[in-house]
Amino acid sequence: MPLKPYYQIAGLPPKPHFLLKDHTGREFAVVEHYETDRAKATGHTLLEFFTTDPSLKARPLVWLDVERWEVLAGHGKNLPDADFEHGLQAFLQSFPDSERDVRRDRARRARYSDLIDLIEKGYTIAFQELFPREVRREDFPTAAIAGKNYLVDDQYHAQPGDFRNQVTLVFIPESAADAANVEPDLLCNWIFGEGYEIVRSSLSESLSHEAVSALVKNEELEKIYKERLLKVRREAALLGVKPKPYSPTTPVTPVTLSTPSAQHAPSNPSHPSHPSHPDSPGGGKP
């Protein structure tokens, strides 16, 4: 269900978000429900009113526009009386700006709750997922491999405390109707300033390296990806993503990274950026 109480989104025990008393003396505990579907997010929050008053057979429900900070009068349900929404509007005006901003921040965090969960589990996140309005289809690099055209998606480790200086490149067939649910034909980590490694590929080794080498030679593309890496990490911090827990790691054999002019070496599963490594759960997973 897209609407969820904020305590559930935040992983907290069930509890009301604020208390109030109406003009008749009835006391209510209010739970705030937020939209978690980014495609439907409107900035409207649903307030659910709990009371021990036996005369109320159903819990009142009222919509609040958190951006404009006003009750959407006329859209409430199970209201105890005709003045309930107007009384709530007057009550909410007593909230200081700091409390209003808390609700706006909650609404924003709720819209990205699924991505926050993935980031905190160590998965890479596509730039277009965090900033869908900043990327058009024609902005994605393309690659032609063995007569087949691909779009190249860029994904990042966004969790605060994760200092991997890299982008994961995901090669998706351009003809795919639903790219989000298509297994990529090629997945690689481009480690800035060092080289790249093929994480997974259904293509031949020579074709894989030929496709990736053409991208990592592009200095302008590298600049764009570096800027996006910083941007997604700033956004993750603003969304309140929990930092990556510190855990001492045992030394591993350094992976031999490929460069456009170097001899190609296979991916090393012991390297921290490989998806099977404990420090990279799902690393490079689209």
Q: What is the pLDDT of residues 63-83, one digit of tens each?
A: 999 999 999 999 999 999 999
Cβ atoms of 247 and 183 within 8 Å: the answer is no
Pair 137, 228 in one domain? yes
Q: Residue 275 domain-assigned? A: no
Mean local confidence (pLDDT), 203-228: 95
Final residue belonging to a domain, choices 77, 111, 145: 111
The CA angle 66-69-75, to the nearest 5 degrees, is 80
Q: What range defines the domain where residue 134 resides?
A: 122-238
Q: How many CA atoms lie within 13 A of 184 on its CB side?
A: 23
Pair 131, 232 in one domain? yes
Provide the pLDDT for residue 286: 42
Cβ atoms of 235 and 158 within 8 Å: the answer is yes
Pair 71, 152 in one domain? no
Region for 74 from its dihedrals, namely left if φ exceeds 0, alpha if ψ lies in -120 to 50, beta otherwise: left
Provide the CA 103 distance to its chain's centre, in angstroms: 19
Q: How many CA atoms lie within 13 A of 248 on its CB side?
A: 1
Q: Residue 255 domain-assigned? A: no
Pair 107, 131 in one domain? no
- What is the secondary structure of 216-272 as a DSSP string? HT-HHHHHHHHHHHHHHHHHHHHTTPPPPPP------PPP--B-TTSPP----TTST
Q: Residue 172 domain-assigned? A: yes
* Cα 258 from Cα 191, distance rounded (Å): 10
Pair 18, 81 in one domain? yes
Pair 126, 226 in one domain? yes
The CA angle 126-132-138, to the nearest 5 degrees, is 85
Cβ atoms of 5 and 33 within 8 Å: the answer is yes
Q: Which of 39-43, 94-98, 150-154, 227-231 has the lowest mean pLDDT?
A: 39-43
Pair 29, 107 in one domain? yes
Mean local confidence (pLDDT), 216-228: 96
Final residue belonging to a domain, choices 60, 76, 111: 111
* Cα 275 from Cα 277, distance rounded (Å): 6
Mean local confidence (pLDDT), 224-253: 85
Q: Residue 136 domain-assigned? A: yes
CB within 8 Å of 262: residues ≥ 6 apart: 195
Q: Residue 246 domain-assigned? A: no
* Cα 107 from Cα 103, distance rounded (Å): 6
Pair 138, 83 in one domain? no
Place 15 in a pLDDT band, splitting at 50, 70 and 90: very high
* Cα 168 from Cα 81, distance rounded (Å): 56
Place 198 in a pLDDT band, splitting at 50, 70 and 90: very high
Provide the pLDDT for residue 88: 96
Pair 127, 94 in one domain? no
Q: Residue 160 domain-assigned? A: yes
Provide the CA 102 distance to its chain's centre, in angstroms: 19
What is the count of structural domains for the chain? Answer: 2
Q: Which of 9-18, 86-95, 123-132, 172-181 has the lowest mean pLDDT?
A: 172-181
Provide the pLDDT for residue 137: 87
Burial class (CB in 10 A: 0-12, 13-18, 19+), 156: buried
Provide the pLDDT for residue 240: 87
Final residue belonging to a domain, choices 111, 134, 163: 111
Q: Which of 63, 64, 61, 56 is nearest to 24 (CA)?
A: 56
Pair 14, 106 in one domain? yes
Cβ atoms of 19 and 44 within 8 Å: the answer is no
Pair 82, 63 in one domain? yes
Cβ atoms of 60 and 26 within 8 Å: the answer is no
Q: Residue 216 domain-assigned? A: yes
- For residue 156, pLDDT over 90 is answered with yes
Provide the pLDDT for residue 178: 61
Mean local confidence (pLDDT), 99-111: 93
Provide the pLDDT for residue 245: 81
Pair 151, 69 in one domain? no
Q: Residue 185 domain-assigned? A: yes
